[in-house]
A and B are shown apart, each in its own frame.
Chain A
Amino acid sequence: MSLIARIKRFLGLEAEAKREEPEKEKSEPVGASKEEVEKVAEENAKPRIGYIHLSGCTGDAMSLTENYDILAELLTNMVDIVYGQTLVDLWEMPEMDLALVEGSVCLQDEHSLHELKELREKAKLVCAFGSCAATGCFTRYSRGGQQAQPSHESFVPIADLIDVDLAIPGCPPSPEIIAKAVVALINNDMEYLQPMLDLAGYTEACGCDLQTKVVNQGLCTGCGTCAMACQTRALDMTNGRPELNSDRCIKCGICYVQCPRSWWPEEQIKKELGL
């Protein structure tokens, strides 16, 4: 079954009529107190998702929209997008279950710092969405000296300033991983999300991680997954080992994240393959 078909099945897109009826029954449980009903309603509520755009390029949000045939269902029936400059006409930041943060933070931009602190207070979960937020990525090369704000020179991943719960790296993250993460969140599938929780701590990324954390550690087998994953063709394989063209590397971290010798999700893989 294709990935999209599997996601559709998760979302119940292929059994919509059946899905709606039992929900009505559930809404009036016999003999339940008003408080209990409210609690059930709250637990089953659609996750409230906010999208916060810091020093990013909107590519990560674009990637979300590339889930063409599941996007409408996802946005209208599965989640509530409650905040986000490109998506919602709202100035006051509301309470959110999940805040997707795109872009790194400029330390010289007070507004960005303020917005980041506020969202940490308003959101239950904060996700570094895309490599700029997760690892700094391309903005790691910023050094100021440009008009109209020559002093704007320091950009850091959001985890340098606030506690981050999970990260979805990628420049941009693929549409599929965004869809799978959102679906896992709706299903409260923490096992699937676990690697993303762990990746929240991976903020100092670079193509040279393959050398220091894989080859130097005696772990590389020359499979070539890193070079496939690289989004700027900064990696090639020479004599069975990754060779980095550091002039092309944007420090997104994808090569090391995708390497089968960095972390290994055996149970999840077997589950998806039916093995």
Chain B
Amino acid sequence: MVLGTYKEIVSARSTDREIQKLAQDGGIVTGLLAYALDEGIIEGAVVAGPGKEFWKPEPMVAMTSDELKAAAGTKYTFSPNVLMLKKAVRQYGIEKLGTVAIPCQTMGIRKAQTYPFGVRFVADKIKLLVGIYCMENFPYTSLQTFICEKLGLNMELVEKMDIGKGKFWVYTQDDVYTLPLKETHGYEQAGCKICKDYVAELADVSTGSVGSPDGWSTVITRTDSGDSIFKQAVEVGIFETKPIEEVKPGLGLLEKLSAQKKEKAEKNIAARKEMGLPTPY
């Protein structure tokens, strides 16, 4: 159960050329939320939209495919999307809501659905929760340290960031820069240290880059509704898929990284307990 409970795992990418160009990987989040919007499964989605500063996202409610596309791509810092869910329901009047969430946000949403103490008529409006894999997250100032101090670049020149193959990658229009991941250690936010969830185990559908080739994503369908929405989208040609067994590096790497994250978290949880510090588990 190192990847949580699931129905199926495939490698997939969006067939939409524009989404392919904008997306971090296979365009699964943008493509799936856009499909759900078009089909009326959701009326809007809370996503990490562009903020006032470069690469500092702000939660936004997307009601069209264009707005979804504006939010495509990974930003390696906080976007408190969960806060926006109530606004989407109350202020935008959305009855059927979609959202994208990293594992800790998924946990906040699922807890609020199971024990809705103070979230009157919000919990049951969330119809599609797309989870993304997450190893750790960084405060915005950490990102500035990597890009401005360590690489000597200006934030506004950056076109894309990526973490993979042991490096932190930064793409500008003309060049590619890398930092070894050990240069980023110590800059992660503290709360990530006890997180045991790498692959958004409580989402309807989870997706991320690890396991699939560049330009593709590894998609895990989990709940009945998530599984059926994704399969409908594949059926009508929104996504192309390959069996995960036929792609490199495949499930082995995903399972290894997930197991490592859990193991490290368990160690940190034990250390905290020894110090007498609280943990939620």
Which residues of chain B (30-52) have a CB below 8 Å from chain A?
A: none
Contacts of A240 in B (CB 8 A): 77-78, 80, 139-140, 189
For the complex, give the distance between the alpha carbons of A90 and B121 in Å.
33
Identify which of A180, A219, A223, A236 contacts B107 (C-beta below 8 A): A223
For the complex, give the distance between the alpha carbons of A270 and B86 in Å.
23
Quick one: CB contact mask for A226-262 with B, threshold 8 Å, 1 for yes? Answer: 0111110000110110000000000010100111111
Binds B, one of A99-107, A113-121, A168-176: A168-176
Contacts of B278 in A (CB 8 A): 213, 217, 219
Contacts of A66 in B (CB 8 A): 120
Question: A275 at interface (Cβ–Cβ under 8 A)?
Answer: yes
Contacts of B117 in A (CB 8 A): 168-170, 173-174, 177, 229, 254, 257-258
With contacts A219-B191, A219-B194, A273-B202 known, is A258 near B107, CB below 8 A? no
Contacts of B59 in A (CB 8 A): 224
Contacts of A263 in B (CB 8 A): 280
Binds A, one of B108-116, B155-163, B257-265: B108-116
Identify which of B109, B115, B192 contacts A177 (C-beta below 8 A): B115
Question: B132 at interface (Cβ–Cβ under 8 A)?
Answer: no
With contacts A176-B120, A213-B278 known, is A258 near B224, CB below 8 A? no
Specify the chain A residue showing the minimal Cβ separation from B80: A224
- By the criterion of a CB under 8 Å from any partner CB, how many residues of chain B are at the interface? 55
Contacts of A220 in B (CB 8 A): 189-191
How many CB-defined contacts (below 8 Å) exist between A and B? 173
For the complex formed, measure the closest distance between the CB of B237 and the CB atoms of chain A, giving whole angstroms: 29
Question: A222 at interface (Cβ–Cβ under 8 A)?
Answer: yes
Contacts of A4 in B (CB 8 A): 124
Quick one: CB contact mask for B102-142 with A, threshold 8 Å, 1 for yes? Answer: 10110111111111111111111000000000000101110
For the complex, give the distance between the alpha carbons of A217 and B190 in Å.
9
Identify which of A170, A171, A224 contacts B81 (C-beta below 8 A): A224
Question: A35 at interface (Cβ–Cβ under 8 A)?
Answer: no
Taking a contact as CB atoms under 8 Å apart, the answer to whether B118 and A258 are in contact is yes
For the complex, give the distance between the alpha carbons of A274 and B204 in Å.
11
For the complex, give the distance between the alpha carbons of A38 and B112 in Å.
41
Question: B4 at interface (Cβ–Cβ under 8 A)?
Answer: yes
Contacts of B123 in A (CB 8 A): 3, 174, 176
Question: B193 at interface (Cβ–Cβ under 8 A)?
Answer: yes
12 new A-B contacts, CB < 8 A, other than A222-B137, A224-B105, are A66-B120, A177-B117, A218-B190, A221-B191, A228-B108, A237-B80, A239-B139, A252-B118, A258-B117, A258-B118, A264-B111, A270-B202
26 A-B residue pairs with CB within 8 Å: A2-B124, A3-B116, A173-B118, A174-B120, A176-B116, A176-B123, A176-B124, A177-B115, A219-B279, A220-B189, A223-B107, A224-B80, A225-B109, A225-B111, A231-B118, A239-B139, A240-B78, A240-B140, A258-B111, A258-B118, A260-B108, A261-B191, A266-B281, A269-B202, A270-B202, A273-B202
**B-binding residues in A (CB < 8 A):** 2-4, 63, 66, 168-177, 180, 195, 213, 217-225, 227-231, 236-237, 239-240, 252, 254, 257-266, 268-270, 272-275
**A-binding residues in B (CB < 8 A):** 4-5, 59, 77-78, 80-86, 102, 104-105, 107-124, 137, 139-141, 189-195, 201-202, 222-224, 272, 277-281
